[in-house]
């Protein structure tokens, strides 16, 4: 049995690979895949990191949790939650989210 001509296969595959790559590129651009982090003021992120580390989290864990929070919540949403937390009324949805984020971050 004769081997397949490699040059002919690679020439045929090159356009297919380019088209497939272009389709994937456009898909990721249009769908916004890969969550974007919402920007928070630096003092807010620093306060979060300090508070997290004071309650036993290490730098890596706290940073990971903050990234997940910033992916989900806009700064305005987070500020609203923060006000509720200060009043002793932390939303259960936020507590659940942070618990899940902590579990995911601990696996890294």
Domain ranges of the chain: 1-34, 42-106
Neighbours of 57 (CB within 10 A): 19
Q: What is the pLDDT of residues 23-55, one digit of tens each?
A: 544 444 444 455 689 999 999 999 999 999 999
- Mean pLDDT, the chain, rounded, equals 80
3-state secondary structure of 57: coil
Sequence-distant (6+) residues with CB within 8 A of 105 are: 60, 61, 64, 65, 68
Q: What is the pTM of this model?
A: 0.67
Q: Which of 81, 84, 48, 80 is nearest to 66 (CA)?
A: 48
pLDDT of residue 26: 41
């Amino acid at each position: 049995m004769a081997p397949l001509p490699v040059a002919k296969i690679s020439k045929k595959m090159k356009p297919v690979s380019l088209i497939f790559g272009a389709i994937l590129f456009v898909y990721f651009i249009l769908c916004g895949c890969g969550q974007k982090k919402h920007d928070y003021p630096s003092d807010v992120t620093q306060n979060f990191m300090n508070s997290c580390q004071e309650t036993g989290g290490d730098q890596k864990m706290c940073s990971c949790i903050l990234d997940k929070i910033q992916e989900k919540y806009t700064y305005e949403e987070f500020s609203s939650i923060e006000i509720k937390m200060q009043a002793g009324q932390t939303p259960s949805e936020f507590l659940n989210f942070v618990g899940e984020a902590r579990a995911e971050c601990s696996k890294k």
